[in-house]
Chain A
Amino acid sequence: GAGVSQSPSNKVTEKGKDVELRCDPISGHTALYWYRQRLGQGLEFLIYFQGNSAPDKSGLPSDRFSAERTGESVSTLTIQRTQQEDSAVYLCASSLGLGRAPRSGEQFFGPGTRLTVL
């Protein structure tokens, strides 16, 4: 497909379990971002990957959260020992990345994964 895809679209888990969320960015996009959107709130930045550079993890809320990206392709966001406050929609976005004018800042979002922790 031409857009950013995410899976699963919905995930219900029990408190304390680990979850993995997947993001497939647009082909050729070197930058990939994860955001969290709580109900009725704006998006919170979590982590940013740019090519082979070290990721910017400054938005991760705790050490239970981690993310990986293989090259310039798929990324996985992992939440360990989930808590009820982790319930949110997790959104992935990709962009052309640094130095790719004219609209290099434009981020294309996937539909998100709705995570519910019971």
Chain B
Amino acid sequence: QQQVKQSPQSLIVQKGGIPIINCAYENTAFDYFPWYQQFPGKGPALLIAIRPDVSEKKEGRFTISFNKSAKQFSLHIMDSQPGDSATYFCAASRAGGTSYGKLTFGQGTILTVHP
């Protein structure tokens, strides 16, 4: 019930394309859904996050779409650039209670953007 399933495992797009990464969760108590970006040799860095009271959130070229009834959320990267090539992780947690902040991560998606 704590799993977060992420797909695809890897993704290759051309510059300007719109890669989409999908995640599904099981625990209905989750109420905070961040996406992290990780470059080789570095720790993950928060990219964008959403709470379940909205269905979409956009920050720059990055958009999260959230479907509460389906327990799914996805990351869209508009006008992708070679510098976006990285590993992307979705995650989920509860914003309160004793489990506060304990992130459950997806398996990651390796994104490659060709020039």
**Chain A residues in contact with chain B, CB under 8 A?**
4, 31, 33, 35, 40-45, 48, 50, 56, 58-59, 91, 93, 95, 97-98, 103-112
By size class, the interface of chain B is: 20 to 34
B65 within 8 Å of A (CB atoms): no
Nearest-neighbour CB distance to chain A for B76, whole angstroms, equals 20
0 or 1 for each of B94-113: is its CB under 8 Å from A? (1 = yes): 01101111111111100000
- Do the beta carbons of B107 and A48 come within 8 Å of each other? no
Nearest-neighbour CB distance to chain A for B89, whole angstroms, equals 6
- Do the beta carbons of A41 and B98 come within 8 Å of each other? no
B80 within 8 Å of A (CB atoms): no
**Chain B residues in contact with chain A, CB under 8 A?**
6, 32, 34, 36, 41-46, 49, 89, 91, 93, 95-96, 98-108
- Do the beta carbons of A56 and B102 come within 8 Å of each other? yes
Nearest-neighbour CB distance to chain B for A46, whole angstroms, equals 10
- Do the beta carbons of A45 and B98 come within 8 Å of each other? no
List 11 A-B pairs, Cβ < 8 Å.
A31-B100, A41-B107, A43-B91, A45-B102, A48-B101, A50-B101, A58-B102, A59-B102, A103-B49, A107-B46, A111-B43
Task: List 6 tightest A-B contacts by C-beta distance, closest first.
Answer: A109-B43, A42-B105, A43-B105, A42-B107, A105-B32, A109-B44
CA distance A40 to B99 in the complex (A): 26
Of B6, B43, B104, B107, chain A has the most CB atoms within 10 Å of the CB of: B43
- Do the beta carbons of A112 and B43 come within 8 Å of each other? yes
Nearest-neighbour CB distance to chain B for A17, whole angstroms, equals 25
Contact of A105 among B34, B89, B105, B107 (CB under 8 A): B34
- For A97, the chain B residues whose CB sits under 8 A away are 101
Given contacts A56-B98, A105-B32, A111-B42, contact A45 B49 (CB under 8 A): no
- For B99, the chain A residues whose CB sits under 8 A away are 56
Given contacts A31-B101, A56-B99, contact A93 B107 (CB under 8 A): no
Q: A41-B107, A42-B6, A48-B101 are in contact. List 12 more A-B contacts (CB 8 A).
A: A31-B100, A35-B103, A40-B108, A42-B89, A50-B101, A58-B102, A91-B43, A93-B43, A106-B49, A107-B101, A109-B43, A110-B43
